[in-house]
C-alpha cells in the first residue's frame, strides 16, 4: 500500500502570516521631533517589523504593526537617543456612559505613580459624586475607565 501525504496543508503555509492582526500603538514625544529623530524612528521600527507604518503629528507618533509589542517599540525608539518617547495607553470605550468629570489614568511613563494618582482622584470623585458612581456601577458591573492619552 502506498501512503500519500496530503498537500493541502502546505498550500496554506504562505497565508499563515496573514492571520496576524495589526495593532496601533500611540506614543507621545518630548518635544517636536526633528528630521533626524524621524529618520531614526523609521529605521528602528522597520528593523522590528518591515511591514510597520509610522505617522508623525507634531509631538505624537502612531505606529501600526502586526509583530512588535508596544514595549519593544518604546525600547527601540528610545534607544536612538534622538527623542524621548512615551507609550500612550488608549481609552477603552464601553457602552456605559461615563461622566466627563470622572478621572482618567494618564500615562506619564511612571506606571506606579500614574496608578496612585488615578486611584486617589477616583476616590475623591466617588466621595463627591456618590449617586453618579452608584448609577455607573449599577449599569456596568465592575467597569472602570482604562487610560487616556495625555
Range of the domain at 47: 21-88
Residues 114, 77: one domain?
Answer: no
- Give the mean pLDDT of 116-129: 89
pLDDT of residue 85: 93
Report in angstroms the alpha-carbon separations of 97 from 94, 102, 115, 134: 8, 11, 22, 13
Q: How many CB atoms lie within 10 A of CB 68?
A: 21
Is the Cβ–Cβ distance between 25 and 61 less than 8 Å?
A: no
Residue 71 domain flag: yes
Residue 15 domain flag: no
- SS3 for the chain is CCCCCCCHHHHCHHHHHHHCCCEEEEEEECCCCCHHHHHHHHHHHHHHCCCCEEEEECCEEEEEECCCCHHHHHHHHHHCCCCCEEEECCCCCCCCCCCCCCCCEECCCCHHHHHHHHHHHHHHHHHHCHHHHHHHHHHCCCCCCCEECC
Pick the more confident residue, 92 or 23.
Answer: 23
14-18, 109-113, 117-121, 124-128: least confidently modelled range: 14-18
The Cα 29–Cα 60 span in angstroms is 6
Residue 80 domain flag: yes
Pick the more confident residue, 78 or 11.
Answer: 78
Residues 61, 31: one domain?
Answer: yes
pLDDT at 55 over 50: yes
- Give the mean pLDDT of 12-23: 57
Residue 114 domain flag: yes
Residues 84, 25: one domain?
Answer: yes
Q: Mean pLDDT score of the chain, rounded to an integer? A: 77
pLDDT of residue 110: 78
pTM of the full predicted structure? 0.50
pLDDT at 143 over 80: no
Is the Cβ–Cβ distance between 78 and 33 less than 8 Å?
A: no
Residues 117, 78: one domain?
Answer: no
pLDDT of residue 115: 80
Q: Write the CATH number for 39.
A: 3.30.70.100
Residue 10 domain flag: no
Residues 33, 83: one domain?
Answer: yes
pLDDT at 17 over 50: no
Domain count, the chain: 2
Amino acid at each position: 500500500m502506498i501512503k500519500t501525504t496530503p498537500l493541502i496543508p502546505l498550500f496554506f503555509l504562505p497565508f499563515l502570516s496573514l492571520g496576524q492582526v495589526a495593532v496601533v500603538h500611540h506614543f507621545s514625544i518630548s518635544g517636536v521631533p526633528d528630521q533626524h529623530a524621524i529618520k531614526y524612528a523609521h529605521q528602528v521600527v522597520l528593523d522590528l517589523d518591515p511591514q510597520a507604518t509610522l505617522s508623525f503629528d507634531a509631538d505624537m507618533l502612531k505606529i501600526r504593526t502586526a509583530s512588535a509589542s508596544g514595549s519593544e517599540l518604546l525600547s527601540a525608539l528610545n534607544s536612538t537617543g534622538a527623542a524621548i518617547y512615551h507609550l500612550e495607553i488608549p481609552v477603552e470605550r464601553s457602552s456605559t456612559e461615563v461622566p466627563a468629570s470622572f478621572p482618567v489614568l494618564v500615562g506619564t511613563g511612571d506606571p506606579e505613580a500614574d496608578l496612585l494618582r488615578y486611584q486617589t482622584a477616583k476616590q475623591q470623585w466617588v466621595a463627591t459624586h456618590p449617586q453618579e458612581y452608584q448609577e455607573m456601577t449599577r449599569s456596568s458591573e465592575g467597569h472602570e475607565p482604562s487610560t487616556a492619552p495625555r
